[in-house]
Structure 1
Amino acid sequence: MSERPFLQIVKGDATPEEIAALIAVVSARAAGGAAAPPARRPSAWTDRSRLARRPLRPGPGAWRASALPG
């Protein structure tokens, strides 16, 4: 191993528990690797479900409502 310490506390008086917590966080961060970018929602323009037609409802004025955007 190398002669230089991996981690050195230069100021303050850390307890052994605080040092252990710091080492645990640094080790977990290093072992985790790069975090995946957050998932992006698809654009409404590319959403194919908007092409599906809504069910027709028969009744008075249904012919008029069938052509209106909803």
Structure 2
Amino acid sequence: MSEESEPLIRVVQGDPTAEELAALTAVVSAKAAEASSAASAGSGGPRPSTWSAYWRTARAPMRAGPGGWRASALPRS
């Protein structure tokens, strides 16, 4: 078609190389694809971080007996 459309990306300042423009285009298109797939999946937003999950704060009860205080600080697997 002979009709020109607005460019999707416009450089306002600087003189980027072809490689820099290609990298920018790849990042922008990947983010757009990620957003559209999340919207089509109906996820309702990003998943919450597991760092704030309840099970990370819940610990096993402390055991009474010899060495119990020491065992309370040991990592559990």
The TM-score range, normalised by the shorter chain, is: 0.5 to 0.7
Q: Residue in 2 aligned with 1:57? A: none
Alignment partners' CA distance in 2, 1:16 and 1:27: 16
Aligned pair count?
Answer: 55
| Structure 2 residues not aligned, in runs of 5+ | 36-44, 70-77
Q: 2:25 aligns with which of 14, 17, 23?
A: 23
Give me the identity figure in percent: 39
Unpaired runs of at least 5, structure 1: 55-64
Displacement of 1:36: 2.3
Could you state the TM-score of these two structures normalised by the residue count of structure 1? 0.52
State the distance in 2 between where 1:4 and 1:16 align: 19
TM-score calculated relative to the size of structure 2: 0.48
Which one has a larger percent helix, Structure 1 or Structure 2? Answer: 2
Q: 1:2: how far off?
A: 6.7
Match of 1:35 in 2: 46
